[in-house]
Amino acid sequence: MDERLKTQDKLKSWEIHNGMQLICPLCKFCSDTHDHLFFECMYSSQVWRKITALTWLPQLSNWRAVCNCLSTAASRNTSTSVVAKLVFGAAVYFIWQERNNRLFKNSHRSEVKLFDDIYNTVRLKLMSIRFKSSAKVERMKTTWQIL
Ligand SMILES: [Zn+2]
């Protein structure tokens, strides 16, 4: 992803150089910066709100908050921190993919559909992990519909 982000930055300086501005393809309103795309955008923040409601993650508003949050999660190995890492990875991946689909493939998903895709991806990964049973783990399994 880093490589592609770099490409985007190069593209952006080229666009600005040519007197144009890239508009966020998700809301078609604000300019397309990374903080906007992943956090400030109406579309992305609705997705985050729905997905973070399923975890202990707070509503994250910028990359710095995410890094702080993930470094706390990385130092633990509990079911909640595993969920946080999977949720964050999947959300960033799908938001970035949605942006590119809109830009290059002319395909659109609603916020609800994107949330479903993130939910199902995280759910499948959680199903492949064996957690030691506890009240917390059972609650987590209920949230993610794991039998
Ligand atoms: Zn936007």
Going from the Cα of 9 to the center of ligand 1, the distance in angstroms, rounded, reads 17
Going from the Cα of 70 to the center of ligand 1, the distance in angstroms, rounded, reads 24
**What pLDDT, on the 0 to 100 scale, is given for residue 143?**
93
Contact indicator for 59, 48 with CB cutoff of 8 Å: yes
Closest CA relative to residue 11, chosen from 29, 32, 28: 32
Q: Please write the tens of the pLDDT for every residue from 31-41.
A: 888 888 888 89
Contact indicator for 68, 62 with CB cutoff of 8 Å: no
Going from the Cα of 38 to the center of ligand 1, the distance in angstroms, rounded, reads 8
| Lowest mean per-residue pLDDT among 23-32, 59-68, 74-83 | 59-68
Going from the Cα of 31 to the center of ligand 1, the distance in angstroms, rounded, reads 7
**What pLDDT, on the 0 to 100 scale, is given for residue 17?**
46
- Kindly write down the DSSP assignment for every residue of 36-101, as one continuous string: IIIIISHHHHHHHHHHHTTSSPPPP-SHHHHHHHHHHHHT--SHHHHHHHHHHHHHHHHHHHHHHI
Q: How far is CA 86 from CA 30, 52, 118, 119, in A?
A: 28, 11, 9, 10
pTM: 0.79
Going from the Cα of 123 to the center of ligand 1, the distance in angstroms, rounded, reads 27
Mean pLDDT rounded to a whole number for the chain:
83
Q: Please write the tens of the pLDDT for every residue from 12-61.
A: 554 554 455 678 999 988 888 888 888 889 999 999 889 888 887 776 67
**What pLDDT, on the 0 to 100 scale, is given for residue 34?**
83
Going from the Cα of 34 to the center of ligand 1, the distance in angstroms, rounded, reads 10
Q: Domain locations in the chain?
A: 33-143
Separation between Cα atoms, residue 7 and residue 75, nearest integer Å: 32
Going from the Cα of 43 to the center of ligand 1, the distance in angstroms, rounded, reads 6
Phi first, then psi, for residue 31 (nearest 5°) are -80, 155
